[in-house]
Every structure is written in structure tokens, then in C-alpha cells.
Amino acid sequence: MKVAYWPGCVSRGFTPELHGSMAQVAPLLDIELIELDRANCCGAGVIAEHNQELADTLNARTFAMAQQTDGELMMNICSTCQGAQSECQERLDANAVYRERVNDSLSASGLHYEQGIVNKNFLWVLVEDIGLKKLRKLVKQPLTNLRVGPFYGCYIIRPAARVGIDEEHPRSTYLAQVIDALGGSVIDYAGSHKCCGFPIITMNKTASLKQAGRHLGDAIDADADCLVTPCPLCHLNLDLQQPLAAAVVGRSLGMPVLHLPQLVGLALGLSPKELGMGRHIVKPKTVIDWSESVVAGV
Amino acid sequence: MAKFKLRLRRYDPESGEAPYWDEHTIELEPHRSVLEGILQAKGRFDGSIGIRCSCRAAICGSCGVRINGEPGLACHTHLDEALARGDGKVIEVEPMGNMPVIKDLIVDMDAVHWKKIQSVTPWLLGREPVPEREYLVDREAMVDVTQSMACIQCGACVSDCLAMEVDPEFTGPAALAKSYRFVGDPRDDEHYERLKHLAEDPSGMYTCTHCFKCVDACPKGVNPMGQIMRLRRLAGSDYEIEDRNNGYRHEHAFVENIRRNGLLHEADLLPDSYGGKFHPNAVPELIASLPIVLRGLLRRKITPAKALLHPHKASKDLRALFDQIEEQPKRYELNLYVSGDDKDNEPLAGASEGSSR
């Protein structure tokens, strides 16, 4: 399938291994990525809390660019982009007069947003468009004995109505379903659906790091080998800031955190090195050891 | 009639015993409420079960609990719906979170919830001179604040607040929504003072993490987080309140970063959120981050070129959008609570004709 691909900012900034691993994994899943390289930051909710119309217009600009491609849908690899863009789309799609107002602003750029774009995180595409049945068939290196804790990121699971969670689309369970389809063991721990704390890192640092530190500690207590997240901003607080979080919660952590495409890539036969795992602040030693033992066993 | 297994969290702090689970099988029609189930267990099996309730019609806000992990009103949750939330076998009912338990399912609302509500001066500080008759205000402004007025003080949002879990001092969703009820009210005379207080409080409006928990928790559609974002827009954009928690600086640094670069340039955002690389507040923060920056450099997560140079620049059309929208004399904000959805506003088929009698 062909998708208009919005990688977001952080995947090309402080988590370059996310963008890199998505590029490696896409062809293995038969996804053709049409990268929206002229599109802009989603605003991460911060621009919306400064000026809502500005955030809506910026995201309408990205949606309009996606609609100019021949992709079946627009795909992102960031929970925060998903949430921030869904919020703007809700307003744009609800009110025709407002949509006209925003489109007037975009007209100078030769862009126009048509109501009803389908914008999905890679996680949703995996489950809903590729399908777990097909994913299971593509697995070359099942994640047997790898104990993986899901970490969703708030923006992709709440508010439930806006992010399209219903009986047919239990999106708050998809990460567990994917881990299972890849052959891994799903670890149930207290923090899987909670907040990583990143949005308040500059405003209330202790509270922010306490959130990250507690979830990492809970995952350790539940015996997880690693966490996996579809959100690079969660990755910043859980991995990049992990040494500071450990100091705040007063315990040693050392919990590896993988990006979703890295976990998928691992099961599809790619090596931790190819997936950029050497770039993490917390070296994913358990995952590398697991991968080496599997390769040695073949 | 159907049978339901209720598993209730029991705890009596005065007993010195640890909390425990207590199971009872009740018989009711599936559309009856979890509250009726609890009251049946209390009436038939154990009169000592502690539950607070009054109206049984989702208006008094007394029976807030956690049902199969989700917050809500026991009187407003059907038994079959509650069952479907869990494993389909049992309905687990626990007291709300973030508040101390008085007994079983009853929490101490005074110790947390009401204390926070009191802290935001929850009454109108009327604009002077007080008119002889009524204040005249825009209809839309009053419709806007009716959303936060719909709050029934049940505490469900407080129970689920993830920021309060790590910072018990946080003003919290219910009290912040209450504050917006007055900040958004054109008759109130102290908008600036209220905003200033909430911005300067180290655990005030800028401690909200955008987790949307309160939005989903609220049984009345108050959208507390939406009200908090309104408070921030007013404080940061309209009143330009420069607070000591970096809320204002972070917001402005972020917007300027995107205006300049189109995409977020993280290496600039952190120091700029503290007031710029050489700002006295930024220096200790940057020093604290040094070990991480060094490790990032070693692992090639961060490259010096990427951190120092700006690999991308915002295109002209993007900057023009920023200028055009930011330079409008008044910020425009679509409020779906006021305007409704186009679908809601469509006239009903045939409504305009044939029904005049």
C-alpha cells in the first residue's frame, strides 16, 4: 500500500533511529512511503494552547499536502502528532464555515483541505490495514521469550471518542496485539496507558521525571526486558531522560525502550544495529543479547 | 433478572487491618446501575459496606467510584456495560484515586477535592460598578462557561489525574475548570489576578500534562483539560503573563521555533524555554543536562552539526501563515461546545413544513 507519510519532527531530530527504522521496515511490510517533506510541525498541543486557529491552519496545510499525493491514507509515526492532528481535524471537519476560513488562509500556498482525511499512526495501519494475520506470516525471527511492555502515549488512546476507539477498533489494545503477533510476551504493568510526563519537563521537572521513573520502575518490577512505544516524545522522557528520572525516583533503572518500528523490524529479521538501537541512551542490552542468542541458535 | 458478581474493595483505616476484596453475587436486570447492585449487596448480605450516594440520577455527584478500572458514577453505569469493561466475569468496584479512603468506597473529598476548589476563589468577583439591574453580556460567552458549570463535583477527574498522582499539590482538573468558569465569565473583574495566580503556582495550570484522562473520566462532558488549555491561551497569548514556571516562555519559544524552522529544532527549544542559552535560569538546567548531551553525542543520537546548525528552515508560505494569523487584532477560536457540529445544526427533515399546528 502507498501512504502519504508524515514522520514528524522528533523522529528526524533527537530520535533519528525512529525515522531510520521506519524506512527499513516499510518495504518489508509492502508499504510505500511518500514523505511529506515540506509539511510542518503538528504543534504538539503547544501551538494549540497559544493560538488554536494557528494550530488548525498548520495541520490543515499538512493534510492538504497529503491529499495532493496518491497515498491511500496519511500515516504518522508519532502518537503526539496523531493526537494533536486529530484534535485539529475534529474542528476542521465539524464546521464548514471554519474550514472555509482556514482554506482561505491556505489558498496563497495553493493548498486546500477537503473534509475527512484518514490519518493513522503506524500502529493502527499495522493492525487495521496490513492486519495481524499477514504480519504473523511475515515474521522471520519470532520474539520468543522476549518480554515486552507496551507504552502507548496519551495522545493515541485519549480522548477515546476523538481517536476512534470503539468496539470494532479497540485501539488501546493494539500494541499488546502487535507484540503478541510478533511472538513476544506482553508484559502487563501499571504504567502502560499512563503519561510519560514529557509535556511538562520544562515546567514541573520533578513531576515529569517522577512519571517516567515510576513507569520504568513498574516495568522492571513486572520483569519486562524492554518497553516499546509508538511515540518519540515518550521515548525522550523514558530513554533520553532516564538517568535523570532514576535520580528522581531514587532507584537504578536501565530499562531499554524501543520504538515500534524497531520492534517490528527485529521480528522481520533486521538486526539491532540496522535498526539504530546503538543510538539509545539506555543501551538495549537485553534485546541485543536476545537477538544474538536467536541468531546463534539458528 | 441476571446474576452479577460484584467484587468490592473494602478498607477501614480505623481497624488497623489491610484493605481486601469482598465478593457478592447480586440479582438485577442488566440495565440497572452498579449503585443498585452495591445497595442490594449492602441490604441483603453486609450492612457494613461503605458507599456514599444520594440522588441516584447522576446529578448530586456523591457516588463517584472506579468500576473495572475506570472512574465514573456508580448510579450512572449500567451493570452490563460495567461487566463489558472488564474480563466479562466480575465487576470490580474500588474507591476513587488521589484521595484518602474514609471507609470502603467512600473517599475524603474535603482533604483533596474541596480544598483545591476553595483555592481558586470559586465565586464571582463582580465587575464594578455593579449595574442596578443585570449585567449585559454576549450569549456566546455565557454558553461557553456553561460547559464548566455542568460540573457536579463528583471528583472522577481528580481521581484519574495523572499529574496529581506525582504532584499532590497540583490544582487539578476540577478546580482549574472551575477557575475557567470565572475567567471566561465577562462579569468577573479579576481575570488577570486569577490567571496570574494559576500561572505562578509551581503546581498550577502549567503542571497539566495533556494526558486527556479527565476528559474521558468526566460523566458530564465538562472537558476539564479543554478549560485548562483555554486558561493557558488567555494567560500566555492575551494577558502575556510571564510566569516563573516557564509556561509562557516554553509556549513562546515553541511557536517561534516552528515559525523559524518549520519543524521543531529541539536543541534550541530547551534553552529557549528557560529564557535563552545565557539566561540565569537556563544555565543550571543546561549543566544538569550535560551528561545526557555527552552520551547522546557519543551514541550519535545528537550530532554537533544538527545541534548547532539549523538543518531546515520554514518556507516563505509557512511564515506568511504565522504572520497572517498572529497579526489578527483578535485571536479567533472555534468552540465546538458553543457552535456545535454541522450535523447537529442541520434542520431536521420536514421540520420546516407541515408541523405549524
Q: Is the per-residue pLDDT at A132 higher than 90?
A: yes
Task: Provide the pLDDT for residue B166.
Answer: 98
A159 touches chain B (CB under 8 A): yes
A195 neighbourhood in chain B, CB within 8 Å: 162-163, 209-211, 213
Q: Is the per-residue pLDDT at B255 higher than 60?
A: yes
A91 touches chain B (CB under 8 A): yes
Distance CA(A58)–CA(B135), nearest Å, equals 38
Q: Is the per-residue pLDDT at B258 higher than 60?
A: yes
Task: Provide the pLDDT for residue B350.
Answer: 54
Taking Cα atoms as reference points, which of B119, B109, B203 lies closest to residue B158?
B109
Looking at the fold, whether B65 and B149 belong to one and the same domain comes out as no
Question: Residue B259: inside a domain, yes or no?
Answer: yes
Looking at the fold, whether B30 and B76 belong to one and the same domain comes out as yes
Task: Provide the pLDDT for residue B352.
Answer: 47
CB–CB contacts below 8 A, A to B:
197
User: Please, which pLDDT band fits residue B230 given cuts at 50, 70 and 90?
Assistant: very high
Looking at the fold, whether B163 and B209 belong to one and the same domain comes out as yes
Cβ–Cβ gap B163/A46 under 8 Å = no
Best probe of the B interface among A10, A18, A51, by most B CBs < 10 A, is: A51
Q: Is the per-residue pLDDT at B356 higher than 70?
A: no
Best probe of the B interface among A11, A18, A41, by most B CBs < 10 A, is: A41
Neighbours of A180 (CB within 10 A): 16
Q: Is the per-residue pLDDT at B303 higher than 90?
A: no
Q: Which residue in the set B211, B296, B331 is minimally distant from A158, CB to CB? A: B211
Task: Provide the pLDDT for residue B50.
Answer: 98
Distance CA(B192)–CA(A195), nearest Å, equals 30
Cβ–Cβ gap A14/B216 under 8 Å = no
Domain count, chain B: 2
Question: Residue B71: inside a domain, yes or no?
Answer: yes
A281 touches chain B (CB under 8 A): yes
Looking at the fold, whether B162 and B234 belong to one and the same domain comes out as yes
Distance CA(A53)–CA(B325), nearest Å, equals 7
Q: What percent of chain A has pLDDT over 90?
A: 98
Q: Determine contact, residues A237/A201, Cβ cutoff 8 Å.
A: yes
- Which residues between 161 and 200 in chain A have a beta carbon less than 8 angstroms from any beta carbon of chain B? 194-195, 197-200
Q: Is the per-residue pLDDT at A51 higher than 90?
A: yes
What does A20-62 look like in DSSP terms, one character per residue?
A: HHHHHHHHHTT-EEEE-TT-----TTTTTTT-HHHHHHHHHHH
Report the interhelical angle of A79-94 vs A52-67 (nearest 10°): 100
Question: Residue B274: inside a domain, yes or no?
Answer: no
Last residue of a domain, one of B107, B132, B165: B107
Distance CA(B257)–CA(B264), nearest Å, equals 6
Cβ–Cβ gap A16/B301 under 8 Å = yes
* Alpha helix positions (H), chain A: 16-28, 52-67, 79-94, 96-106, 122-124, 132-138, 174-181, 205-221, 232-235, 242-249, 260-267, 285-297
User: Please, which pLDDT band fits residue A294 given cuts at 50, 70 and 90?
Assistant: confident
Across B230-236, average pLDDT: 97
DSSP A125: I
Query: Which carries the bigger pLDDT value, residue B272 or residue A197?
Result: A197
Looking up residue B73, the CATH number of its domain turns out to be 3.10.20.30
Average pLDDT, chain A: 97
B167 touches chain A (CB under 8 A): yes
Distance CA(B24)–CA(B38), nearest Å, equals 9
Distance CA(A123)–CA(A182), nearest Å, equals 13
Q: Is the per-residue pLDDT at B308 higher than 80?
A: no
Task: Provide the pLDDT for residue B76.
Answer: 96
Q: CA of A174, closest CA in chain B: separation in Å?
A: 16
Q: CA of B7, closest CA in chain A: separation in Å?
A: 20
Question: Residue B207: inside a domain, yes or no?
Answer: yes
Looking at the fold, whether B121 and B100 belong to one and the same domain comes out as no
Across B20-42, average pLDDT: 98
Looking at the fold, whether B99 and B244 belong to one and the same domain comes out as no
Looking at the fold, whether B101 and B142 belong to one and the same domain comes out as no
Query: Which carries the bigger pLDDT value, residue B349 or residue B39?
Result: B39
* Alpha helix positions (H), B19-161: 34-44, 79-85, 115-119, 139-149, 156-160
Question: Residue B225: inside a domain, yes or no?
Answer: yes
Distance CA(B194)–CA(B139), nearest Å, equals 23
pLDDT tens-digit series, residues A59-74: 999 999 999 999 999 9
Looking at the fold, whether B189 and B98 belong to one and the same domain comes out as no
> Which grid cell is B200?
505562578
State which residue of chain A sits closest to B344, comparing Cα positions.
Answer: A94
Q: What percent of chain B has pLDDT over 90?
A: 80
User: ipTM strictly over 0.90?
Assistant: yes
Cβ–Cβ gap A54/B326 under 8 Å = yes
B300 touches chain A (CB under 8 A): yes
Task: Provide the pLDDT for residue B355.
Answer: 39
Task: Provide the pLDDT for residue A179.
Answer: 98
B324 neighbourhood in chain A, CB within 8 Å: 105
B265 neighbourhood in chain A, CB within 8 Å: 13
Task: Provide the pLDDT for residue A113.
Answer: 98
Looking up residue B138, the CATH number of its domain turns out to be 1.10.1060.10
B336 neighbourhood in chain A, CB within 8 Å: 90-91, 94-95
Q: Which domain holds residue B92?
A: 2-107
Task: Provide the pLDDT for residue A98.
Answer: 97
Which residues neighbour B106 within 8 Å (Cβ) at sequence distance 6 or greater? B50, B51, B52, B95
Q: CA of B221, closest CA in chain A: separation in Å?
A: 11
Average pLDDT, chain B: 93
Question: Residue B301: inside a domain, yes or no?
Answer: no
Distance CA(A219)–CA(A253), nearest Å, equals 10
Question: Residue B289: inside a domain, yes or no?
Answer: no
Last residue of a domain, one of B107, B127, B149: B107
Looking at the fold, whether B58 and B185 belong to one and the same domain comes out as no
Cβ–Cβ gap B266/A58 under 8 Å = no
pTM for the model stands at 0.95
Q: How far is CA B322 from CA A50, A98, B21, B107, B256, in A?
A: 12, 17, 57, 48, 10
Whether residue A7 is preceded by a cis peptide bond, meaning omega within 30 degrees of 0, is: no
The one-letter amino acid code at B32 reads R
pLDDT tens-digit series, residues A247-276: 999 999 999 999 999 999 999 999 999 999
Taking Cα atoms as reference points, which of A10, A14, A19 lies closest to residue A281?
A14
Last residue of a domain, one of B107, B126, B158: B107
Q: Which of A73-82, B19-28, B317-326, B348-357 has the lowest mean pLDDT?
A: B348-357
Task: Provide the pLDDT for residue B280.
Answer: 80
Q: Determine contact, residues B163/A210, Cβ cutoff 8 Å.
A: no
Across A149-159, average pLDDT: 98
Across A164-174, average pLDDT: 96
Cβ–Cβ gap A207/B163 under 8 Å = yes
B98 touches chain A (CB under 8 A): no
Cβ–Cβ gap B163/A195 under 8 Å = yes
Question: Residue B169: inside a domain, yes or no?
Answer: yes
pLDDT tens-digit series, residues B131-162: 999 999 999 999 999 999 999 999 999 999 99
Distance CA(B105)–CA(B51), nearest Å, equals 5
Task: Provide the pLDDT for residue A298.
Answer: 65
Taking Cα atoms as reference points, which of A6, A16, A22 lies closest to residue A61?
A6
Looking at the fold, whether B175 and B46 belong to one and the same domain comes out as no
Looking at the fold, whether B199 and B327 belong to one and the same domain comes out as yes
Looking at the fold, whether B119 and B84 belong to one and the same domain comes out as no
Across B272-281, average pLDDT: 83
